[in-house]
Amino acid sequence: MSAQAQHSGSRDLTIPVIVLALLSCLPVVVARYPQMSDYPAHLARYYVMLDGGRSADLARFYAFEWKWTGNVGVDLLIWPFARVFGVELGARVIAGLIPPLTGLGIVAVERSLRGRCGIGALLAMLFVWSPMMLIGLLNFTLGLAVALWAFALWVRLDGKAWRWLPFVPIGLVVWACHMSAWGVLGLIVLGYELSSRRSWRALVAPWPLAAPVLAMALLGGNGAEFSYGGNWFVYKQAIWIKAMRDQVYALDFLCLCLFGGVVGLAAIKRRLDGRLGWAALMLAVLSWIVPRHISGGDYVDYRMISSSLLLFALAIDWATPVWANGLAAGVYLGRLAVTTLAWQGDSATTERLLTALDHVPQGARLASAVRVPIGEWPLNHFEHIGAYAVLRNHALVNANFAVAHIHMLTLRDGGYADPSQRLLQWPSAPVLLGRFKPAARADWLWYVGGKPAASVPAGAVVVWRYGDSVLLRLAKPVGSH
């Protein structure tokens, strides 16, 4: 990695990048129901948390135990936002603020390092809507946005003897948002110090960020369980191939290849700023080494890929012609348009699907089943749609993140939780709802999928239908559990 590249005569693209950052909220603006795969399950958790046991039905089905962990960013933020906007709109506002906050954080980092924005900031904007944001890992994406702002401040305060002082609480704030974001911040600071100082002292320079270590020791946690899952090498390749996954395989994979080519060319031309490049490289290597699951958290390695690519983009310090800047901005706007249009369409579909809940009584036991074809490239926006029944019907559903000893939200009577709602199957396989296990503990079965069910539980009655999706009243008295 080279030191900071020469940039005399480079155009300052700060204003264009700020405009692109502000536009990044468009998908949430056009979609009444944000189309992040995990979003409804998070929304249900916020709803139960804020209800505080006032609903007898929710209190009968769910328990909520607050835990101070490195994964509570939006869980904290939703309190004031829900007071002003209500739970649903408050969560949507937060989801809409995270992309611009990330984009403006990119601006803050580049201006802190170089005094202006260039092609690196334009390319980094491609990773504001990373798969992590599209899946709906809101605590992590919020933490990453805060980490970018924190690093910009670290650079601004370079040389100040008292710099450590604000970073003790800042480290705690980023960790509270999400532990992985805190780890990313630590690596960015370490890479910056190693590149700038070239001394052993750089290894201990990030010490002000270490306060969460003490917090974790005092508070305890979910243990240190970890898992790589099956087919380690195949999986690792897959998440790298899906590093820019959104809606269209050809577009997403081509963009990834082109971006990789630009980074490679920048490295050959010695136009990679080591102050960010080393952290990007460390994250890329770690994505192959760390497990997928750590202490109940999923996609630990996938998060590192998104962060690595964003930092590789920001590390590019290269005076580029107008056409190259325009092309980078055009690719970003094209991808944003694809996301926005997909969200607009699927939000309208979600609204129609949610009419099924008009037929479900309050306090019902509802099993949701969502067909997810194996090998399908676009993220499935409906995987957790069943969680809306928590808000609409105060129902017991199987689409929540509610695993005992891991999540703050748990089920009082055991039963099923995510991912029991997912019908992961080959496209040609029949949909056999008659064998769907969660239905055995439910009074209602809500199937969402692009293929009609080949079988349903015995005695089930269809009470609602939209396309191939159906709501079934099961042949079981409500009080028979």
- Are residues 468 and 372 part of one domain? yes
Q: Is 354 within a domain?
A: no
Q: Is 353 within a domain?
A: no
Q: Is 481 within a domain?
A: no
- Are residues 300 and 378 part of one domain? no
Cα 279 off chain centre by: 21
- Are residues 174 and 34 part of one domain? yes
Q: Is 347 within a domain?
A: no
- Are residues 416 and 335 part of one domain? no
Of the three residues 308, 341, 374, the one that is the final residue of a domain is 341
- Are residues 32 and 109 part of one domain? yes
Per-residue pLDDT reduced to its tens digit, 40-80: 999 999 999 999 999 999 999 999 999 888 999 999 999 99
- Are residues 191 and 97 part of one domain? yes
In which band, very low, low, confident or very high, does the pLDDT at 296 lie, cut at 50, 70 and 90?
low
Q: Is 355 within a domain?
A: no
- pLDDT for 43 equals 97
- Are residues 214 and 145 part of one domain? yes
C-alpha 290/C-alpha 32 separation (Å) is: 37
Of the three residues 280, 309, 341, the one that is the final residue of a domain is 341
Peptide bond into 419 cis (omega under 30): yes
Q: Which structural domain range is residue 460 located in?
A: 360-473
Q: How far apart are the first and last CA of the chain?
A: 64
- Are residues 189 and 117 part of one domain? yes
- Are residues 111 and 171 part of one domain? yes
Half-sphere exposure of 266 (CA within 13 A, CB side): 29
Of the three residues 288, 307, 341, the one that is the final residue of a domain is 341
Q: Is the pLDDT of residue 480 over 90?
A: no
> Domain count of the chain?
2
Per-residue pLDDT reduced to its tens digit, 351-392: 999 999 999 999 999 999 999 999 999 999 999 999 999 999
- Are residues 188 and 44 part of one domain? yes
- Specify the pTM: 0.94
> Greater confidence, 200 or 5?
200
- Are residues 367 and 331 part of one domain? no
Please provide the average confidence, as pLDDT, over all residues in the chain: 92
Do 444 and 367 form a contact (C-beta atoms < 8 A)? yes
- pLDDT for 4 equals 44
Q: Which H or E run includes 190?
A: helix 179-197
Q: Is 423 within a domain?
A: yes
Q: Is the pLDDT of residue 219 over 90?
A: no
Cβ neighbourhood burial of 112 (10 Å; 0-12, 13-18, 19+): middle
- Are residues 330 and 220 part of one domain? yes
Read off the pLDDT of each residue in 466-481 and give the average, rounded to a whole number.
79
Per-residue pLDDT reduced to its tens digit, 238-271: 999 999 999 999 999 999 999 999 999 999 999 9
Q: Is 170 within a domain?
A: yes
Q: Is 319 within a domain?
A: yes
Determine the number of helices (DSSP H) and then strands (DSSP E) in the chain: 19, 12
